[in-house]
Each structure stands twice: as C-alpha cells, then as structure tokens.
Structure 1
Amino acid sequence: MSLVIKAHEDMEEWNSREDQEAKPINAGPGVKEVGKWQAPPSVLWMGARRLTRLRSPIEAEAEALRWAIISLVRLNYENIIFESDCKELIHALQEKNYRPSIRAYTDDIHHMLDKIRAHRVIFKSKQTNKVADRVAKEAFTYGSNSSVLFSIMPSWIKSYVEADKRIM
C-alpha cells in the first residue's frame, strides 16, 4: 500500500511541476579543491537499491557505493564526490590490507573509480546526512534486488534535503 501512496505522490509532483526553459546539460557536479564543500541547490541524482544476502553491514555499504559508482559512470559524470557514513569503509578504501573480508569490493571500487576523472570518497556523519538514511529506508520497500534512480527529487525527500543543508 505504501508503494501506491509513493507512486501517487510522485505523480502529483510530476503533474504540479512548472515547465522551465531548456538549460544546457551540465557535464557533472564539480569538485571544489579548497574550502568546505557546499551542497548543490538541489539533488542532482538520488538512488536506492535493495540488497539481499550480504553478510555484514560493511558489505552493504561497499555494495551501495559500488552501485552508485556504476550508475554515475554510465551517465558519463567526470567530477564526483561520494559520501559515506561508514568510517570503516572509508578506512578500508584508504588502506589496502585493512579489511581482507571486503577486499574484492574495495578492489572493484578502486577499479571503477579509475574511470572517473576527478573523484573523492569522503566520510559524512549520519547526523549530517539524514537524506541517505531516508533513502536507505525507502529501499526496504522495493522488491528483491530492485533499484531506482531519481533525476527529479521526490516530494518525500525534500524536507530531509533542506534539513541537511541547514546543518552544513
């Protein structure tokens, strides 16, 4: 039933949108080398994927990052900042032999990151990233191994995006 309600909300949001002039396509989100990272004015892409049969939370975090990288590589983005609230995964990506149990994931992630011209994978605490938490909860409503990629911010996430902007 909640899936029907979400679909109805998405339909209402789509129907209530204001038509805008066509804008040039952006090559991708920029990477700032100096100063504190600033959130974009709105979410560019947001996705969720339901994962099953993983052995540990760090495997779920690694698989989620892997899927995000694959999705954005397919869209030809060249400048990307990936954020994770899993310090252990960030550490495993920085130190090659830190966590042998997820070595296959970290090797695959490094291989895919090589396809992106400019990238960073950074830690962002759960307290400052309620959007990621809400999207993860949304994924539990999906069928087995289902994934969704949003190019328009759904109405159910807008309040979380605004709250995260105020914290930054």
Structure 2
Amino acid sequence: MITNHISSWTPPPRNWLKCNSDGTWHKDRATSGLGWICKDENGHVIWVGTRAVTKAASSILAKAEALKWGAETMASFGYNNIILESDSLALVRMINGSEEVWTVLQPTIEVIHSTLSHIQSYQVRFSLRGRNKAADRIAKESFTFVSSFLSYILYHYG
C-alpha cells in the first residue's frame, strides 16, 4: 500500500496538542460552518467543536472565525503548548505577521492575538488541505443543524 505522506495529518510533538480548524462558506447558504479538532501526539482526539453561524462574508472570514473559536476554547480550558493549523495560507501569514492584515480581518485577528497571549507556547501553521480533512468535515457537518445558532464541543479521551 502506498501512502501519500503529503496529505496525511501529522501529530504534534510530545506534550503538545494540535488543533486543526476550518470554516465552510457557500454563496447559496444562509449559514457558514465552523469546525476544529484537537488531537494529542498519539493522534487521539481530545476535543472537537462544530458550530453553525450567520453566513460569513467570505471563505477566509469563516476560516478565521473557526481558528479563533478553536484558540479561544483551548485557552479557556487552560491548555499550553498548542499548534493551531489552518488550510488558509493567507490567514496564517496575517496572524504570524508576515503579511499585511486585510481590513476586513483586522477585528478577528486582533481577538486571535489577544487569545494567544494567554497560551504559554503556541504556533500557528499552514496545513495542506489534505491534512485538514477532519476539520473540514466537522465544519461541513454544521450544515445539518436545524438551528443556525447551535454549537457543539465534544470531549473524548482514551
């Protein structure tokens, strides 16, 4: 069996958690979907979050909201040593300061920076779309919600 390592999820280092996030947006839908999944170095799922929200103005705004929500959740639970991944290279570059922040994203990125200041050690990384499949699927599942304002955070360990 041949495995495509480029599109496989990679675990974080020992004593770190990795939180992959994604946002879904479609021009014909009234809502956008947010999703994130947090795993440990063994690939065990620790937390999962999915939420349907009022439609974001664009795909990158939905992705930014998903990353923000994942970061806020990890910070509120007191986790340190977090890797946050998104499949939006532009978003990651803006958060990391290597690209000028778009005006429309400024408020969300300010909240992300404020949230990250409460996490002892963190990294914000770009992830190829193939490595972000679980977060993408979780975000898309929010479209099945009856209400546009439901959120689910699920805990699993073991």
Structure 2 length-normalised TM: 0.68
Provide closer, same or farther for how the CA distance between residues 109 and 123 of structure 1 changes in structure 2, counting only shifts above 3 A.
Answer: same
AA aligned opposite 2:58? S
Query: 1:53: how far off?
Result: 2.9
Point out the structure with max Rg over C-alpha: 1
- Name the structure 2 match of 1:69: 71
- Name the structure 2 match of 1:30: 16
Given that 2:96 and 2:124 are in contact with CA atoms closer than 8 Å, whether structure 1 keeps it comes out as: no
- Name the structure 2 match of 1:124: 127
Residues 84-109 of structure 1: per-residue CA shift (max 9 Å, x gap): 11111112212363312211111110
Given that 1:47 and 1:149 are in contact with CA atoms closer than 8 Å, whether structure 2 keeps it comes out as: yes
- Name the structure 2 match of 1:111: 114
**Structure 1 unaligned regions, length at least 5:** 1-27, 32-37, 154-168
AA aligned opposite 1:149? I
123-132 or 39-48: which moved more? Answer: 39-48
* Ranges of 4+ aligned residues in structure 1 off by more than 3 Å: none
Residues 85-138 of structure 1: per-residue CA shift (max 9 Å, x gap): 111111221236331221111111001100000111111111122111111111
CA distance in 1 between partners of 2:135 and 2:127 (Å): 10
Q: Out of 77, 80, 101, which is 1:78 matched to? A: 80
Given that 1:51 and 1:60 are in contact with CA atoms closer than 8 Å, whether structure 2 keeps it comes out as: no
**Structure 2 unaligned regions, length at least 5:** 1-13, 18-39
Structure 1 length-normalised TM: 0.65
CA distance in 1 between partners of 2:47 and 2:129 (Å): 19
Query: 1:29: how far off?
Result: 4.8
1:1-168 aligned at under 5 Å gives the runs: 29-30=15-16, 39-95=41-97, 97-142=100-145, 143-152=147-156
Q: Which has the higher strand share?
A: 2
Query: 1:57: how far off?
Result: 0.9
RMSD (Å) for aligned C-alpha atoms: 2.3
AA aligned opposite 2:152? V
Given that 1:49 and 1:146 are in contact with CA atoms closer than 8 Å, whether structure 2 keeps it comes out as: yes
Residues 11-37 of structure 1: per-residue CA shift (max 9 Å, x gap): xxxxxxxxxxxxxxxxx9527xxxxxx
Q: Which has the higher helix share?
A: 1
Q: Report the identity percentage.
A: 32
